[in-house]
Amino acid sequence: MTGGGAAPRSHGRLSISASRQPRSLMDEQPRLAGRWTARVITLLPEAFPGVLGLSLTGRALAEGLWALETINLRGFGKGRHRNVDDTPAGGGAGMVLRADVLSAALDEAAAGTPDDPALWPRLLLSPRGKPFTQARARALAAARGVTLVCGRFEGVDERVIAHCGLEEVSIGDFVLTGGEIAAQALLDASVRLLPGVLGNAASIEDESFSRGLLEHPHYTRPAEWEGMRIPDVLLSGNHAEIARWRREQAEALTRARRPDLRDAPGSKAVPR
């Protein structure tokens, strides 16, 4: 691993592709070869690709359908111990990521990327952020790439958020220890929408959130299990009836569990 040496610049970045041997995952590669690229600023670069290196996202990574680069925040730390954090101004518990340290890492991450945040958003994973949604995953997949900042400790100096135009994004109303798991969730949701990553594109159309609805229930063999039968309509072979049943089930589930979804902006809700 690089990142802890004396060189002050370009020392914390690694490109990642999927491989059967985890230690050979980290190879220096040319940057931005026209592929959708995620740049992740983190204190734990070894957490990547993590689950993203497996299954569909891992295969897509190995095939070059997307690229993943980590930037080790530690490499921009100050002093002999490469400190990246300090005590909170005004007192209180925990530590705060320093603005100057994160800003230097963001400068490194910006190399060769478009300035337009629609083409290349710069996101800080944060429980204070705007909720991450399927619509946002679609927008990210339509961009050229994304820079993600994984927070740690109590928080991030507010000045670097404002100065570098970081947009805070949350993956849910709970508090994680750090942003790495959140970054992987966000990347998984976005990467699977890139062209060629999912084999059966039709499954995206029907799945939860795509039309402002939760998905209908699924069944498979055996036809009867623990006294419960697969609904007759699904075995009828009548495709119009099956589509109607699924639609009604999806609407009923959504009404019961997530009545907010159908009115959500960008939900693509079909007319009631």
- Residue 183 CB, shortest distance to ligand SAM, in Å, is 8
- Residue 104 CB, shortest distance to ligand SAM, in Å, is 18
Q: In what order do the strands lie in the sheet with 155-156?
A: 85-86, 96-97, 155-156
Closer to ligand SAM at the Cβ: 97 or 141?
97
Task: Retrieve residue 156's tokens.
Answer: 């991030």
- Residue 34 CB, shortest distance to ligand SAM, in Å, is 29
- Residue 173 CB, shortest distance to ligand SAM, in Å, is 7
Tell me if 18 sits within 8 A of 58, measured CB to CB.
yes
Closer to ligand SAM at the Cβ: 125 or 191?
125
Cα–Cα distance for residue pair 26/24, rounded to 1 Å: 5
The residue of the chain with the least Cβ separation from ligand SAM equals 151
Closer to ligand SAM at the Cβ: 136 or 152?
152
- Residue 12 CB, shortest distance to ligand SAM, in Å, is 18
Closer to ligand SAM at the Cβ: 9 or 128?
128
- Residue 149 CB, shortest distance to ligand SAM, in Å, is 7
CA-to-CA dists, residue 35 to 12, 66, 141, 194, angstroms = 21, 5, 11, 10
Task: Retrieve residue 94's tokens.
Answer: 């925990």
Q: How many CA within 13 A on the CB side of residue 76?
A: 24
Q: Site residues (CB under 6 A) for ligand SAM?
A: 125-128, 150-152, 154-155, 170-172, 174-179, 182
Closer to ligand SAM at the Cβ: 171 or 250?
171
Closer to ligand SAM at the Cβ: 108 or 180?
180
Closest CA to 82 of 12, 35, 136: 12
- Residue 73 CB, shortest distance to ligand SAM, in Å, is 12
- Residue 123 CB, shortest distance to ligand SAM, in Å, is 9
Closer to ligand SAM at the Cβ: 185 or 213?
185
Closer to ligand SAM at the Cβ: 121 or 212?
121
